[in-house]
Structure 1
């Protein structure tokens, strides 16, 4: 009979802490860059982030609601939306794999946007 010893001890198998590096949520940096892209005045009405994983990747799924208001809001909306899928985002340890505008609602002097983004850990 052959036995193999992998060097695992019980204290290495069960831990109260995560194993390996842990990445911070990239949502705050993404929000900062979205606000800059949208221009002022823009308000973050809602921002939610949750873990996401596939067979090969780990990341986070984000849902964000923004309210654009002020002068030339329609022009700002066009500038914001144009090329957003191919924009370069600066998120240390992550990259934006997908970003889409899910809904646009216009009100009196303001526009509400809801968008979704998927960020993947860059390892």
Structure 2
């Protein structure tokens, strides 16, 4: 039996497919949880994600622009800002290392909140 035959017959090959999902970009799950935290009505106007790495870690850097409307805008924004650093995020295979509000802009219809986040792959 060659080493290739051993790999092909391994029962572990199917189970390893779950690992592929762990490495996927966690941005979509992060957006759902972020909207739940800020409350409705809120929309994601822009969300981009790119790979990030350091000497010891790898992950993704995210930039998110939210459009928040409705009542209690100031209270909702302040609540989000105060809980960002200690918030728990459910991102299988990843964790949020950092999330900050970069910019706030308001107009007659609501507010724009721009955030930056760093997610790290959890080995």
**Range of TM-score over shorter length:** 0.7 to 0.9
> SS at 1:82's partner residue?
helix
CA contact (8 A) 1:47 1:62 kept: yes
- Aligned residue in 2 for 1:12: none
Larger radius of gyration: 1
For residue 109 of structure 1, report the CA deviation from its aligned partner: 3.6
Query: TM-score by structure 2 length?
Result: 0.81
For residue 45 of structure 1, report the CA deviation from its aligned partner: 0.4
Runs of at least 4 residues off by over 6 Å: none
For residue 26 of structure 1, report the CA deviation from its aligned partner: 0.3
Measured on the aligned residues, the alpha-carbon RMSD in Å equals: 1.6
After superposition, residues 39-118 of structure 1 pair within 5 angstroms as 39-118=39-118
CA contact (8 A) 1:73 1:109 kept: no
Distance in 1, matches of 2:65 and 2:87, equals 19
Q: Any unmatched runs of 5+ in structure 1?
A: 1-6, 8-20
> SS at 1:86's partner residue?
coil
The aligned length equals 105
Q: Deviations over 1:75-114 (max 9, x none)?
A: 1111111121111111000000011100011111401000
Distance in 1, matches of 2:77 and 2:109, equals 12
Distance in 2, matches of 1:98 and 1:29, equals 16
